[in-house]
Structure formats: C-alpha cells, structure tokens
C-alpha cells in the first residue's frame, strides 16, 4: 500500500472522533433548500463549491422528453449527440469533454462499460426518476474515473402510506415516427416494507428512415425494510431491453442493427446509530450486453455480428460524520471487478479496482465555507491515481454565492482498446495509460430580486495523455495517449418570473478545446462549440401547464459531414388536469417536437425527423 493511501486513511482516523449526520438516501429539501450528494454526503446546495445542475421529477413531467438522453440535453453545459431519431443510441458530454469522460450512474451503479467506455443515456427511462444531478468538472475526488463530470440519477422512493398508489400512462404518436407506449407504477407501505414497482413498454415504427423500428421493455423495483429505528435495508433492480433498427445507408451500401440488454441493481443497508453518525453499504452489480449486426444493402447480407458483455460487481461503503454543527466528513471505500466478454477480444478480460476517499466540509462563518477532499484509486489495468480537490463558497449579502473549486481528475480508458482482437481496423495497445488532468471551476449564482435568478460560470481543464485513435496504416488505427489538450469555456443562465403564471429562462455555453501540442482547435466527437437554450413556462393554477423550449447547437463537426446545425429547434409540451371535469385523478398531455419542421443534423447521414405530435393520458389511483 502506498504512502498516499496511508495518508488518506490517517486523515480519516484523525477526524473519526465524532459521529454521523445523514443517510446517503436523503433527497429531500432541508430548511427549504435542496440537498444534493455531489460530495458523497447530503449537503445543502448553498454550501457546495461544485458547479451543479439539478433536474427534478416535477421538471421532467413538464418537458417533452422520453429518456435520460433527451432530458439532460436540456441542461446547460450538457450536450447529447444522438443518431438523429427517437430511441437511437446517444453519447453525453459535459463542458466540452470527451463522451468517455462523463460518468453516468443510476442509484450509485456505474453504467459506463468496458466495451464502449461511455454509457448510453437513451437506455435510461425517466418515469421512475426522482432527481438528476449533474456535477460538472470536479467529480474524480469523490467518484473516481470522471474527467469531465458526473451525471447522478436517483430514482423514486416507495410511498410512505399503507394504501397502494400508482398510475397508468399511455402515449401514442403518428406521422414520420409512429409509436405506442404504456407505463404502470404502484407504490406503498406494507408494515415495515416499502415497495415501488414500475414497468413500461414502447414500440416505434419510424417511417422517416429505412430499418429504424424500435422496441423497448423496461422494469424497475425498489424495496425498503425498516429493521428498527436505526437500520434500514434496501434493494433496487432496473432492467431495459432495446431492439433497434440502426438504419440503412444506401449511399454506403451498408446498414446495422442494435440490441441492448441492461440489468443492474443494489442490495444494502443504512445504519444511523446516532444523530451524528451513519454508515451505508451496498453490493452493486450490472450486467450489460449488446449486439451490433452490420449488413450489406440491398439484401441484408451479414458482414459482421459482434456480441459484447460487460459485467461489474462491487461493494461500496460510505460513512458520514458530523464533527460539529459546522463540520461534516464523508469517507468510504469503493471496490469492484469488471469482466469484458467480447467477440473482439481473445476471451474474457478482467480488471479489479478499489478507491478510498474522504471529503470534509466546513462552514467557517456565515460568509463562507470550505471543502477539502481526496481520493486514491488503484486498478489492475491502469495503476494508481490520486485525486485531491479543494473548493470554497463565498456568500454575499444580496443572495449571491460565489463558488470556486479545483481537482486533479482522471479517466480510465475502456479495456477494449487495450485488448481488442479480431478487428481488422483497430489493433490493441496494452501500454495505454489513464488520461489525467487538472480541472478548475468558477461560478456565481445570484437572486437579486424574488423574480430573477442569474448564474454565470467558467471552467478550464488541462488534460494530458488524452486517448485518440492514431492511424497506423491505411484503414488501421490504434488508441494511444498522444494529445495534450486544454478545455475551457463559459456558461450563463437566467430565469425570470414575468408574472405568477409566466416564467422565462435562457442558457448559453461556449466550449473551446485546443490541442496544446499543435495549437489547433479540436473539432467533432460530440463536443459543440456554442449552444443556446430558451424556455417559456406558463402555468394556470394547477390545471394547465405549457412549456416551449428552443435549443441551438453549433456542433463544430468536420465539413465532410455537411452538417445543418446552426438553427433553433423548437419543442413544446402541454399538460391539462382533468380531475375537476371527471372526478378522477386523470390528466392528459400533448408533445409537439420540431414544431417548425426544420432540417437539423450534425451529419448528413443522420438527419432528424420533422414535426411530430404525441398524445398521452395518465390515470392515477
């Protein structure tokens, strides 16, 4: 064991004189303020130095979105590049980072795979999501491999009432994309047992493209059991299966199909023996399998059929300690094993990893608070990583917070690049190293009046050993640590309550990614140069809500892709409560997507469909 890990364990021991504060499951408001878990401990948003964006279940219900990829695409600083249509695979970036640098978790389970490195957010449904937290830039000191940031998805808890409650929702659409979806949820409390069960199915027929049908089945279960006043047991399980027609490309005489099968969950406990100490532990597992079939067109003669299976098992232990009314400490251990089985490797490839971390928050005075933390990681594939961090929040008298943070961060590349075999286009590189960098965040949020909220921020990340595919021979590539890059950018958001019924919002980001070796600006890879978002929300009491959303992307793609992207695309959703008319818990909604039917794409081979209208009905009981 290295000196660094001994120092970290010593720091934990020195602080271990008090006892715990909150359970990690907390996701409620405390004293009227949202509590978040960016530092692995529930912490008031006003005291965290991180640049964090939050989307709640109430926000999601008002938006014309279907899965996680579409939801986070509307969060400032997060960009999602899909394959041009409903249900297709997607990749997410945060503040101009590579998609592989974005860590995506659901209920603490990491979904980034060793076969692709990044997680597909289109696999994650939204109906059972309680909150989405996006931690930008400085996540490695708390979470491990996350050079760009963390997307932390927290699903709903069982309802705390003996009578079962739930809902049934059906949605249908026609036109270029016709689909039907039904979802069902039931939740309640039976004695000490809390339960939440959820299921959905959707079937889409995309007339916009050849070979673009989409079928998805999803289910979720969460159980909690109050063993006694201090101990709570829990288990979660999530499942999604997708069959996707990946289009035909006649100009390339080529087509493809996808299959995704994703199962993941946890079993664990929360123990709070006192008001100042708690500990929670969870066994976590994920089993993600996918198949890519490539075929020639016309005729659909199969030219490649690739199966990949990623299995992860691990145990996380997290403790929270309140040293005083002003100081809290989170510390813990993450352990895990990965196994990659792929037709593109010579048998299973395995990796063991563990991490030890501590994060200390100190409210020094009414004016400012300080956060210090560090994490040590060790993997059999990429060796040791040490990630210190520091941050400060300064409160000005006029409801203004200034936040600053820094962190050493890293990303462990996917195993497939080290051990790929049987692929005629990519050769392995067993000397591949982890990507590393220093990340800096500075932001200010202010609420000068009760109707106006403003946030501005800046970031910078200096990354060395960036992994890129290098041309070895014509049509042959190898992943290698070849680039020294600097990511930097700006973001701004504003929300204005024009009246009690009407709220306007806007967001803007600028990313600049430079290859420091050559001095050139980097393009492509799902990283936009400029984005903008505009929103209008109208709410008439509790009967009617209407959301209009415009989003603009300059994807900064190579000219060979012939992109059409520098234009606003407008979507809308209207919800209407029918309870007063029917006497039942009944509501209806309509989604209008690409209202003005604008051509929009980052690659001419992957155009987006035009106007789409969706109608839905939700019944609650």
389 exposure class (CB count in 10 Å sphere: 0-12, 13-18, 19+): buried
> Which pTM value belongs to this model?
0.92
Average pLDDT over residues 537-541: 93
Binning the chain into helix, strand and coil, the percentages to the nearest 5 are: 10, 60, 30
Q: Cα separation of 93 and 147, whole Å? A: 11
For 183-199, the pLDDT digits (tens) are 999 999 999 999 999 99
Domain total of the chain: 1
Q: Cα separation of 466 and 522, whole Å? A: 12
Phi-psi category of residue 602: left, alpha or beta, with phi > 0 → left and psi -120 to 50 → alpha: alpha
For 8-56, the pLDDT digits (tens) are 433 433 333 333 222 233 333 333 356 777 788 888 888 899 999 999 9
Write down the mean pLDDT value for the chain. Answer: 91
CATH number of residue 285's parent domain: 2.40.170.20
Model pLDDT, residue 33: 59
| Element counts in the chain: helices (H) and strands (E) | 6, 33
Residue 1: inside a domain, yes or no? no
Q: Which domain holds residue 527?
A: 16-620
* 116 vs 476, higher pLDDT: 476
Residue 2: inside a domain, yes or no? no
Residue 529: inside a domain, yes or no? yes
Q: Report percent pLDDT > 70 for the chain.
A: 95
Contacts of 361 (CB under 8 A, 6+ apart): 39, 41, 43, 47, 48, 327, 328, 329, 369, 370, 371
86 exposure class (CB count in 10 Å sphere: 0-12, 13-18, 19+): buried
Residue 485: inside a domain, yes or no? yes
Model pLDDT, residue 491: 97
Residue 3: inside a domain, yes or no? no
Residue 132: inside a domain, yes or no? yes
Residue 586: inside a domain, yes or no? yes
Residue 324: inside a domain, yes or no? yes
Q: Report percent pLDDT > 90 for the chain.
A: 83
Average pLDDT over residues 352-364: 95
Given a contact cutoff of 8 angstroms between Cβ atoms, the answer to whether 561 and 555 are in contact is: no
For 85-127, the pLDDT digits (tens) are 888 999 999 999 999 999 999 999 999 999 987 899 999 999 9
């Amino acid at each position: 064991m290295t000196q660094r890990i001994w120092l970290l364990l010593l720091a934990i021991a020195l602080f271990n004189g008090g006892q715990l504060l909150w359970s990690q499951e907390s996701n409620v408001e405390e004293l009227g303020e949202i509590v978040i878990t960016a530092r692995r401990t529930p912490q008031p948003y006003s005291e965290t130095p991180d640049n964090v964006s939050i989307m709640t279940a109430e926000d999601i219900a008002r938006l014309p979105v279907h899965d996680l990829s579409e939801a986070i695409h509307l969060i400032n600083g997060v960009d999602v590049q899909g394959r041009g249509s409903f249900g297709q695979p997607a990749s997410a970036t945060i503040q101009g980072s590579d998609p592989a640098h974005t860590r995506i978790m659901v209920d603490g389970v990491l979904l980034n795979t060793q076969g692709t490195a990044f997680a597909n957010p289109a696999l994650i449904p939204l109906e059972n999501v309680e909150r989405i937290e996006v931690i930008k830039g400085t996540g490695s000191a708390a979470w491990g491999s996350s050079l760009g940031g963390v997307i932390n998805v927290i699903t709903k808890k069982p309802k705390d009432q003996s009578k079962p409650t739930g809902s049934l929702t059906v949605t249908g659409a026609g036109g270029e994309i016709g689909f039907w979806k039904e979802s069902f949820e039931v939740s309640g409390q039976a004695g000490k047992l809390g339960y939440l069960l959820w299921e959905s199915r959707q079937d889409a027929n995309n007339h916009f493209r050849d070979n673009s049908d989409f079928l998805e089945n999803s289910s979720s279960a969460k159980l909690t059991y109050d063993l006694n006043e201090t101990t709570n047991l829990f288990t979660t399980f999530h499942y999604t299966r997708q069959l996707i027609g990946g289009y035909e490309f006649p100009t390339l005489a080529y087509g493809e199909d996808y299959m995704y099968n994703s199962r993941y969950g946890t079993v664990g406990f929360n123990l709070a023996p006192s008001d100042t100490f708690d500990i929670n532990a969870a066994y976590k597992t994920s089993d993600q399998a996918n198949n890519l079939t490539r075929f020639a067109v016309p005729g659909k003669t199969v030219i490649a059929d690739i199966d990949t299976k990623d299995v992860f098992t691990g145990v996380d232990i997290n403790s929270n300690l309140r040293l005083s009314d002003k100081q809290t400490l989170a510390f813990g251990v993450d352990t895990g094993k990965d196994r990659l089985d792929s037709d593109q490797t010579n048998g299973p490839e395995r990796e063991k990893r563990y991490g030890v971390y501590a994060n200390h928050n100190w409210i020094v005075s009414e004016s400012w608070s300080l956060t210090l933390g560090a994490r040590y990681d060790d993997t059999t594939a990429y060796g040791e990583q040490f990630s210190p961090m520091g941050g400060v929040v300064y409160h000005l008298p006029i409801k203004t917070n200034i936040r600053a943070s820094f962190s050493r961060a890293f990303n462990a590349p996917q195993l497939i690049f080290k051990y790929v075999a049987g692929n005629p286009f990519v050769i392995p590189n067993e000397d591949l190293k982890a990507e590393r960098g220093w990340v800096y965040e500075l932001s200010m949020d202010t609420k000068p009046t009760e109707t106006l909220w403003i946030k501005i921020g800046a970031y910078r990340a200096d990354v060395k050993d960036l992994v890129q595919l290098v041309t070895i021979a014509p049509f042959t590539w190898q992943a290698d640590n070849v680039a020294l890059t600097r990511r930097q950018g700006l973001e701004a958001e504003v929300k204005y309550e024009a009246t009690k019924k009407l709220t306007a919002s806007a967001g803007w980001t600028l990313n600049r990614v430079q290859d420091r070796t050559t001095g050139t600006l980097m393009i492509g890879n799902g990283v936009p140069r400029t984005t903008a978002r505009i929103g209008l929300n109208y709410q008439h009491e509790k009967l009617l809500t209407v959301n209009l959303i415009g989003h603009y992307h300059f994807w900064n793609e190579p000219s060979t892709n012939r992109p059409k992207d520098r234009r606003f695309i407008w979507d809308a959703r209207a919800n209407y409560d029918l309870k007063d008319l029917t006497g039942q818990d009944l509501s209806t909604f309509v989604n209008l997507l690409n209202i003005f039917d604008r051509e929009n794409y980052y690659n001419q081979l992957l155009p987006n469909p035009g106007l789409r209208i969706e109608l839905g009905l939700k019944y609650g009981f």
